[in-house]
Amino acid sequence: MLKIQNFSKSYNNHTIIAVENLEIPEGIHWFKGVNGSGKSTFFRSVAGIIPFEGQISWNNLDIRKDAIAYRMQVNMSEAEPLYPDYLTGYDLIKFIADAKKANQNQINLLATRLGVDIYWKNTLGTYSSGMLKKISLLTAFLGQPKLIMLDEPLITIDDRSVQIVYELVKEYAENSGVSFLLSSHQDFRFEKLAIKNMYHVQNQAITQL
C-alpha cells in the first residue's frame, strides 16, 4: 500500500498539490488530470525525485528513513524525459540498471521487446521523442520494482510500442504482483488494463473517482 499523509508540494510559495490522507492499495491505478494539474509533480514526489512536505511510505518503507530500500521498490518513467545528450541510451540504461540491481538478461529482454537495442548505442541527443520515451519506459521496469509509475506512458510512441507497454504492465502486474500508477491527460485512456481505482488530479487535490 502507498500511504500519503499531510503531503504538499509548492513552487515559489504556490501550492501545486496537497493531500491530507490518501491510501492507495496494490493494483493498477489511473490518474487523470488536465495539463498542469500536478500529476507529474505528484509522481516525482512519490518517486523520491523532488522534495516535498509530509510523509510518504510504500509497504511500510518510509521514503526518507528507508531511502534506498524504498527506491529499490519504486520506479518511475518521466512523461517527457530529459537526458544528457552526450550519453548513449545504453549508458543510461546500464547506470540505472546497476542502481536497481537489474541483471544483463533483464536489460536485453526489455530492450528487445521495446526495440531500443537497434539504436541504444547512439547518443541520446540524436533520438526522436518516441525513441527517448522508450528508453525512459524501459528504465521503469528495471530491477525488482513493486510499484511502477508511468507518467503519460503512451505519448509520442507508435501503436506497436503502445501494445508492448500494455503487455509489460499486464505481465509485471500478473506475474510479479507489481502495482502501477499510470497518468494521462484527456486523450489517452487505459481501459484495456485491469484498472482498480481511478483518481482525478484537479484544484491542487487528488480525489478518487
How big is the chain by its Cα radius of gyration, in Å?
Answer: 16
Listing DSSP states for 74-121 in one string gives EEEE-SS----TTSBHHHHHHHHHHHTT--HHHHHHHHHHHT-TTTTT
Minimum distance, C-beta of residue 85 to ligand ATP, in the bound complex (Å): 21
Q: How many Å apart are CA 36 and CA 102, to the nearest integer?
A: 33
Q: Which residues contact 86 (CB under 8 A, 6 or more apart)?
A: 123, 124, 125
Q: Which is nearer to ligand ATP, 65 or 189 (CB)?
A: 189
Q: How many Å apart are CA 132 and CA 83, to the nearest integer?
A: 9
Q: Which is nearer to ligand ATP, 14 or 160 (CB)?
A: 14
Q: Which is nearer to ligand ATP, 33 or 89 (CB)?
A: 33
Minimum distance, C-beta of residue 176 to ligand ATP, in the bound complex (Å): 27
Q: Which is nearer to ligand ATP, 39 or 134 (CB)?
A: 39
Q: How many Å apart are CA 96 and CA 81, to the nearest integer?
A: 14
Q: How many Å apart are CA 199 and CA 156, to the nearest integer?
A: 23
Q: How many Å apart are CA 67 and CA 54, to the nearest integer?
A: 15
If you search the block for the grid coordinates 488536465, which residue do you land on? 34
Among 3, 94, 185, 200, binds ligand ATP (CB under 6 A): 185
Q: Which is nearer to ligand ATP, 88 or 183 (CB)?
A: 183
Position 133 contacts ligand ATP (CB under 6 A): no
The three-point CA angle 67-153-29 to 5° equals 65
Say how many residues make up the chain: 209
Q: Which is nearer to ligand ATP, 41 or 161 (CB)?
A: 41
Residues 19-58 that bind ligand ATP (CB under 6 A): 33, 35-41
Minimum distance, C-beta of residue 187 to ligand ATP, in the bound complex (Å): 10
Among 2, 16, 116, 168, binds ligand ATP (CB under 6 A): 16
Minimum distance, C-beta of residue 139 to ligand ATP, in the bound complex (Å): 18
Binding mask 53-92 for ligand ATP (x = CB under 6 A): --------------------------x-------------
Q: Give the binding site for ligand ATP (CB under 6 A).
A: 11, 16, 33, 35-41, 79, 185
